[in-house]
Structure 1
Amino acid sequence: MKQLMRRFKNFYNNSNFIVKNLIRLALILTPIILVVELIFFRLEISIEKEYKIGQTIIQSIESLVGDRKLNGM
């Protein structure tokens, strides 16, 4: 692990301005994206929209699969 960190540090120090900023951006945005995904997953957002499959009109996804909730976190 130390060798991997050393290699990354050398890569980072030898990189140009654009690559350094892309690495910083990735390090900042990754945890933010994970938290937002977790929030949306926990809220179990249901989209109230009509779906048309062939001639059948379905009011929402819940009407097709039922009201399923995930238990286990």
Structure 2
Amino acid sequence: MLLDPSPEIDAGRYAAKAVAGEPFTVDVDAFTDGHDRVACALLWRPVGEDETDWSETSMTALVNDRWRGQFTPA
């Protein structure tokens, strides 16, 4: 389950925007039932690009189920 994404615009109604060439950081709370290991990946694509052509980077565990990922858009 994913909760409390950041950045978030109008409760997810609009996509967050990034500036080309500047790092963009995304945080999220991620957890599951039980004792399964959790791993998170951040997927992104430029607006207007093919919806099947996503880029991916791993996210790093912080504290209390909080995860962080970062990418730099071209």
TM range (shorter): under 0.3
The structure whose residues are more often strand, as a share, is 2
- Normalised by the length of structure 1, the TM-score is 0.23
- Normalised by the length of structure 2, the TM-score is 0.23
Q: Which has the larger radius of gyration?
A: 1
